[in-house]
Chains A and B, each alone.
Chain A
Amino acid sequence: MQYAMLVYHHEADFHSLPAEEQNRLRNACADWYSQLEATGRASGAMRLQPTVTATTLREHNGKLVLSDGPFAETKEILAGLVVLECQDLDEAIAQARRFPSLPAGFSLELRPIIPDGVRRSDQP
């Protein structure tokens, strides 16, 4: 199965960490990911720019409405995501719990990915 591991953090808290610490965490996470990728247990990851760079699209009365900022103003924001390739939820949890930024107050949400979920389907 594939799981999206959604990485959430408290933006302000993270950026208030000393620069060396932020760097250490980033590199540790990068190593964690490289290892998973090398053993075929991850197939994609991305780190997102801070929410100040976000643009949200909605449609209102048939017109496109753009707004500056994230979809919802919340304390914890989506910071990135990793695609895990695992047998089952237990294996996904076992990989995710080693995510180096977890002790730094990050939250991880595991969501199963629908296979071929973005392809056209003839099924009802």
Chain B
Amino acid sequence: MNLGELYRRDYGRILASVIRVARDISLAEDAVQDAFAAAQAQWPVHGFPANPVAWLYTAARNKAIDQIRRRTLAEEKHRQMITLAAPEEHAPIPEDTLRLIFTCCHPALAVEAQVALTLRTVCGLTTEEIARAFLLPVPTLAQRIVRAKAKIKLAGIPYEVPDEDALDERLPSVLAVIYLVFNEGYSASAGPTLVRAHLCEESIRLCRELATLLPREREAHALLALLLLTDARRHTRTDADGSLVRLEDQDRSQWNRPQIAEGAAIVETVLREGPAGPYALQAAIAALHAQAPTFAQTDWSQIAALYTQLARRQPSAVIELNRAVAIAMVEGPARGLELMEQIDLPGYHLLPAARADLLRQLGRREEAAAAYRAALRLVQSEPERRFLERRLQEVSH
């Protein structure tokens, strides 16, 4: 393993433990960066240490403590010194990674700030990488992170894993951040490319870590399954020129089978252990899609039933739309259209796009064309726009 791989894999957990000692995110970040820089200078000369992570952690912690001592002396304050008397351990501890995740995803921070801070600290992405992934100017993103860190410090957001009672309340916002990062990578809401793979990989890595640290939280495992199953189809979602390929046209032989097997096994375990939460239901749906031999042979009635359960738990127009699409596959496009009439989703291009598709199947070409045009007025992602334009041409003559 080289230093770059070590950075990718261990930056977050080293940082997490240094933050606990330093009680200051920015100071800890600088210390960890310094430790990696020292390693880069020393290891090629003196050889890799036996335990590189422990080496880096110890170096970073010592640098952080030095820094605080210097600061403390300068300010002639003694209060901070007390915290440094804490017993010294020699490797980052897993609990700290959880602390960092829950701090970054604290509901007192804006969701965008939660996302940026999590990617920056837990995942170790640079500000530039995060800005690029979210198509934001670097200064905007940098300021978002600075503000979030300031709020954590000044508002007294604790560096703690919520206790058992509060965990149920706090975990959903962590899972939401992970899912948001994944979705931003998987179906980029705007811009030239449909998939930003980097974000998908980061979110899966983060979710895997979280699920490992919280073995009893079934929804964390269910989200991991959902991400694995969805991501397994990622490479077939766009063609060579970057256009969207719909599920029914995707080359299923190219789907990532080991990943599907892993995801499906997790879903089965989660469903066996108790009632299904929202992520478990979505993962079960993704498993049915991923395991179906063809589009036509998909178990649509089971999928429709799962969407019905999901809509009951989490009333949402988007879920209703997916449910209507599944029911249309079982009971025909006319029934699907009927259900879609009752869905109110202003500004969301997929509703007119789905209607257009059903109208096209029914041979109602003029109405289909009108619906495609309505979808085109709302769509923001370039590959999806190209797909809709192609469809519009097909029904227009």
B-binding residues in A (CB < 8 A): 1, 3, 86-90, 92-93, 110, 112
CA distance A92 to B162 in the complex (A): 14
B49 close to chain A: CB less than 8 A: no
Q: Which of B158-194 contact A (CB under 8 A)?
A: 158, 160, 162, 166
Chain B residues closer than 8 Å to A88, beta-carbon distance? 156-158, 160
User: Which of B106, B154, B160 lies in contact with A112, CB distance below 8 A?
Assistant: B154
Interface range on chain B (Cβ under 8 Å from partner): 10 to 19
Q: Which residue of A lies closest to B157 (CB)?
A: A89
A-B contact count (CB 8 A): 26
Contact present for A112 and B166 (CB under 8 Å): no
Chain B residues closer than 8 Å to A92, beta-carbon distance? 156
Chain B residues closer than 8 Å to A3, beta-carbon distance? 156
Q: Which of B62-113 contact A (CB under 8 A)?
A: 106, 108
B155 close to chain A: CB less than 8 A: yes
CA distance A112 to B166 in the complex (A): 22
Contact present for A87 and B155 (CB under 8 Å): no
Contact present for B155 and A89 (CB under 8 Å): yes
Contact present for A90 and B162 (CB under 8 Å): yes
Closest CB in chain A relative to B165 CB, distance in Å: 10
Chain A residues closer than 8 Å to B106, beta-carbon distance? 89
CA distance A89 to B153 in the complex (A): 10
Closest CB in chain B relative to A61 CB, distance in Å: 35
Closest CB in chain B relative to A113 CB, distance in Å: 10
Contact present for B162 and A112 (CB under 8 Å): no
Closest CB in chain A relative to B101 CB, distance in Å: 15
User: Which of A89, A110, A112 lies in contact with B158, CB distance below 8 A?
Assistant: A89
* Most chain B beta-carbon contacts within 10 A, residue among A3, A86, A87, A89: A89
Query: Can you list 26 A-B contacts with CB-CB less than 8 angstroms, sorted by A residue number?
Result: A1-B156, A3-B156, A86-B156, A87-B156, A87-B158, A88-B156, A88-B157, A88-B158, A88-B160, A89-B106, A89-B108, A89-B155, A89-B156, A89-B157, A89-B158, A90-B157, A90-B158, A90-B160, A90-B162, A90-B166, A92-B156, A93-B108, A110-B155, A112-B154, A112-B155, A112-B156
CA distance A93 to B108 in the complex (A): 10
Chain A residues closer than 8 Å to B156, beta-carbon distance? 1, 3, 86-89, 92, 112
Q: Which residue of A lies closest to B170 (CB)?
A: A90
Q: Which residue of A lies closest to B153 (CB)?
A: A112
Seed contacts A88-B158, A89-B106, A92-B156; 10 additional CB < 8 Å A-B pairs: A1-B156, A3-B156, A89-B155, A90-B157, A90-B162, A93-B108, A110-B155, A112-B154, A112-B155, A112-B156
